[in-house]
Amino acid sequence: MAYVRVERQAPLARITIDRPEKLNALNAATIGELEQALAEVQAAPELRVIVLTGAGEKAFVAGADIAELSALDPIAGREYARRGQALLRALELSPKPVIAAINGHALGGGLELALACSVRLAAEHAKLGQPEVKLGLIPGYGGTQRLPRLIGAGRALELLLTGEPLTAAAALACGLVNAVTPAAELLPRAEALAAKMAANAPLATRLCLEAVRRGLEMNLEEALALESSLFALCCASSDMKEGTRAFLEKRAARFEGR
């Protein structure tokens, strides 16, 4: 792949968007390679957690490729948006946790990419925003939907309607990111967090992700019913038997994901 690198060190996988000369902007080719990379990692049972980052020190993803955007007509624009939405929905629905290590600017499609991840960590110098209105556009990869769900409608509308970015510290204060760290410590911290997640039962991790994602789209009674059903599935798993036995025997569990 020309624009995306996949590094595997089981149980962790690192996916890096690698167009630093273009600030890792998302063009059609990069979207296609991200689709391929995500599918490859999802198909590898030994890989349990994904860290997603950008190459270089300036940008996670600075946005979409403006040259491509400028050529869109309404029909092409809808297809452009729907393809990006499909990729980010697959990322959001990943059965394996995805940690965004935001190593620089995450603007436009870059912030939308981070919003689709399970957890977001940011370098101190990162800036995050949705500047599409400055180009006569609105976010097309889910930003108008995920951002208010994460930080509330009022704060999200302020960002969407001004197009102004947040500092990493401000993003932390409003809950847009989970933590802020010096740039040199970002990937080690992301990988340490990934290792903690990967040490847990893969089936329980997948079902926990499912419970939160689907439950947020339900009323509380429906969500509680979903939780009890997924809890019951855990009770039928070998991992649950192993986890409880290991706890009682005061030893580390050996989970197999079944």
Please tell me which residue, 53 or 67, carries the higher pLDDT value: 53
For residue 39, pLDDT beyond 90: yes
The yes-or-no verdict on residue 112 having pLDDT over 90 is: yes
Output 11 or 68, whichever has higher pLDDT. 11
b/e map 134-170, b = 16+ CB within 10 Å: eeebebbbbbbebbbeebeeebbeebbeeeebbbbee
Q: Could you tell me the domains of the chain?
A: 4-198 (3.90.226.10), 202-248 (1.10.12)
pLDDT category at 68 given cuts 50, 70, 90 is confident
User: H/E element holding 17?
Assistant: strand 12-17
Q: Residue 81 in contact with residue 105, Cβ under 8 Å?
A: no
pLDDT (0 to 100) of residue 257: 77
The pLDDT tens digits of the residues spanning 151-185 come to 999 999 999 999 999 999 999 999 999 999 999 99
Confidence of residue 66 (pLDDT cuts 50, 70, 90): confident
**Which tokens go with 125?**
């110098």
Q: Which residues contact 242 (CB under 8 A, 6 or more apart)?
A: 201, 253, 254, 255, 256
Average pLDDT over every residue of 66-70: 83
The set of catalytic residues is 112, 132
pTM summary value: 0.94
pLDDT value, residue 249:
85
Mean pLDDT computed over every residue of the chain: 94
Task: With beta carbons less than 8 A apart as the criterion, state whether 42 and 78 touch.
Answer: no
